[in-house]
């Protein structure tokens, strides 16, 4: 009635006289305006939070998504916000929706899911460009809240992730087998230099198997036979020829003296093998004596 008005701390006042905006801004506190010719319009300068409804759009890699976001903005120029735009709150909502669709169409699905910071910064620049200078509204922050994927895409991504984990598991297992084979080859080279090491390893394996107490171990081949074959393979050139072999000795059985079987030459030399073949042929051609 008397023209006294109160402007809050978070507000700025604009005075219109006969429909014309007066220069200057009324600061917070008690102010007076002409009650007959002036009208005071208050503008909230606080940060406003506006939720952007879910927007369904197609990404650059042809995937249909639904994305919703949140916009944080505030008025930096009260005069522009009142004069240049009719309803800046509704205008900001529409700009945010259209900008969100535009940014989704220019991005890939992987970027929307993994590079949220870059998408938020790009969306902020797109929304802030047409609002700060002409409208006096500054966008402080934009965040993408949720990205909704179709069910078919979720199943495809789960299968892809499972295949990737299986691939990594197979690579790790193959790498382990490769390293183990190299170690086994080195161990075999060390054991081949000393035959006793191979025998000790065999006995250690027997001890480990017997420690379970739930199985029976049968070894039909003695270890000495393995040692004999190893010695024969190591020194094939040291075998004695057949001509230098000692004559068979005679054994006395009762009143008769029977010749013993000739010593078997080493099988590793060619002479020994031919002599053994001749001896077997002679034995097969000899006539059988009657009882």
Beta pairing partners, 137 = 75
Q: Where are the beta strands (DSSP E) in the chain?
A: 4-7, 11-17, 20-21, 29-32, 38-44, 48-58, 64-75, 137-148, 250-253, 256-259
- Would the pLDDT of 171 be above 90? yes
pLDDT band at 221 (very low <50, low <70, confident <90, very high): low
The whole-number pLDDT of residue 259 equals 43
The whole-number pLDDT of residue 222 equals 60
Distance between CA atoms of 89 and 49, rounded to whole angstroms? 10
- Would the pLDDT of 174 be above 90? yes
Sequence-distant (6+) residues with CB within 8 A of 44 are: 10, 11, 75
Sequence-distant (6+) residues with CB within 8 A of 74 are: 45, 46, 47, 48, 137, 138, 140
Q: What's the predicted TM-score (pTM) here?
A: 0.55
Q: Of residues 224 and 66, which shows the higher confidence score?
A: 66
Closest listed residue to residue 96, CA positions, set 63, 125, 59, 117? 125
Which long-range contacts does 35-38 make (Cβ < 8 Å, 24+ apart)? 35/1, 35/2, 35/3, 38/3
Distance between CA atoms of 77 and 72, rounded to whole angstroms? 16
- Would the pLDDT of 173 be above 90? yes
Phi, psi of 240 (to 5 degrees): -80, 140
| Distances, alpha carbon 167 to alpha carbons 161, 163, 170, 173, 174, in Å | 10, 6, 5, 10, 11
The whole-number pLDDT of residue 167 equals 93
List the Cα angle 124/128/132 in 5-degree steps.
155
pLDDT band at 177 (very low <50, low <70, confident <90, very high): very high
How does pLDDT run across 230-272, given as a tens digit for each residue? 677 776 655 554 444 444 444 443 444 444 444 444 444 444 4
């Amino acid at each position: 009635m008397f023209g006294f008005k109160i402007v809050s701390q978070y507000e700025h006042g604009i005075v219109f006289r006969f429909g014309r905006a007066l220069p200057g801004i009324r600061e917070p506190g008690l102010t007076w305006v002409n009650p007959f010719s002036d009208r005071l319009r208050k503008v909230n300068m606080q940060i406003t939070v506006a939720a952007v409804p879910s927007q369904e759009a197609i990404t650059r890699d042809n995937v249909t998504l639904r994305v919703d976001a949140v916009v944080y903005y505030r008025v930096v120029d009260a005069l522009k916000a009142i004069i240049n735009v009719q309803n800046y709150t509704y205008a900001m909502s529409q700009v945010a929706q259209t900008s969100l669709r535009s940014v989704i169409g220019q991005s890939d699905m992987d970027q929307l899911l993994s590079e949220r910071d870059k998408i938020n910064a790009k969306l902020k620049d797109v929304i802030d460009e047409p609002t700060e200078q002409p409208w006096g509204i500054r966008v402080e922050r934009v965040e993408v809240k949720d990205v909704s994927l179709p069910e078919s895409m979720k199943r495809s991504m789960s299968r892809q992730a499972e295949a990737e984990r299986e691939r990594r598991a197979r690579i790790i297992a193959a790498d382990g087998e490769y390293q183990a084979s190299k170690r086994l080859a080195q161990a075999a080279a060390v054991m081949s230099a000393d035959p006793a090491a191979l025998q000790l390893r065999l006995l250690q394996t027997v001890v480990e198997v017997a420690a379970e107490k739930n199985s029976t171990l049968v070894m039909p081949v003695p270890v000495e036979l393995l040692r004999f074959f190893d010695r024969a393979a190591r020194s094939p050139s040291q075998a004695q020829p057949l001509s230098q072999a000692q004559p068979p000795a005679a054994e006395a059985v009762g009143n008769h003296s029977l010749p013993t079987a000739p010593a078997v030459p080493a099988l590793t030399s060619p002479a020994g093998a031919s002599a053994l073949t001749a001896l077997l042929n002679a034995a097969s051609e000899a006539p059988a004596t009657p009882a």
